[in-house]
Amino acid sequence: MQFTGCGTALVTPFQPDFSLDEAALRKLVQRQIRGSVDFLVPCGTTGESPTITLREHLRVVEITLQEAGGRIPVLAGAGGYNTQGVIELARELESLGADGLLSVTPYYNKPTQEGLFQHYQAIAHSTRLPIVLYNVPGRCGTNLEPATVKRLAAIDNIVGIKEASGNISQMSAMANAVPDDFVILSGDDAITLPLFALGGRGVISVVSNHVPAEMAQLCRHGLRGEFVEARALHRKFLPLMEINFIEPNPIPVKAGLALRGLLEPVWRLPMTPPKAENLGRIQSVLESLQLVERSSVAVASLAH
């Protein structure tokens, strides 16, 4: 299975003038590969896809593919509330050589379950690439229900789902509804471990932007049923998983990466830097995990 284990939902680094920071992106991708993650996910919502242009979207995926060099799969973001627009993007990404598509449910227009089915069916029929659905009702305003996922799983190139409902009962029902070869991935780092017990196959992770090797190892333990070892990693990094959502993603994770000198502290509006007190909390968690040195200078330099 191409998209199992730990896939990193890559952040998109920007320069101080808000342009794409290609050099930083290349370094971030190489860092993930050194950490032995299983696949990469550029231009998802963690990558600020709603505020990047089509040209930038394609460039981010192109750079990710170049740096990956075929060593690990690239699951490119291709979602939105305009079905025809998503189809056109999917075709562009296929022509670039992406290995698959991650497609978030339409947001704002709140389609019915039949509308969701027909939306994904149309995308699937437009491309040869495997598609991973992405259900995140807290941000999209609509829930992709297990019965609809079961229907979609019957389409040959719809191969999995990133499930970020936070509803363990729904995840259990979904696991019971779909074929064994349909991949259920956690969309929340903190639910990765319990989802393995239900038959989940991994995570599309935010925290692995910080700790790729450790999150990849947690997933390998989970896939092998080694829950004692997986639980130890889960407990160690749970504070980091949780602090990444002290403000809307990807504000905290980019702030933490900036504190570590891995990118510039730049977000595109309407995303803004975190509050000073939250930035201090992010640094405290990073210090507790020895990911940054204890210092008040770093926080002061990012606070505005």
Strand blocks (E) in the chain: 5-9, 39-41, 75-77, 100-104, 131-135, 158-163, 183-186, 202-205
Q: Would residue 134 show up in a list of annotated catalytic residues for this protein?
A: yes
Q: Residue 93 and residue 196: Cα distance in Å, rounded?
A: 30
Separation of first and last alpha carbons in the chain:
45
Q: Residue 117 and residue 10: Cα distance in Å, rounded?
A: 27
Dihedral sign, CA of 60, 65, 68, 74? positive
Residues 238/57, Cβ–Cβ less than 8 Å: no
Instruction: Spell out a b/e string for 147-167, using b for 16 or more CB atoms within 10 Å of the CB, else e.
Output: ebbbbbbeeeebbbbbbbbee
**Of these residues, 81, 110, 150, 162, which one is catalytic?**
162
Question: CA geometry: angle at 140 spanning 56 and 5, to 5°?
Answer: 70
**Of these residues, 81, 108, 110, 134, which one is catalytic?**
134
Q: Give the catalytic positions in this structure.
A: 134, 162
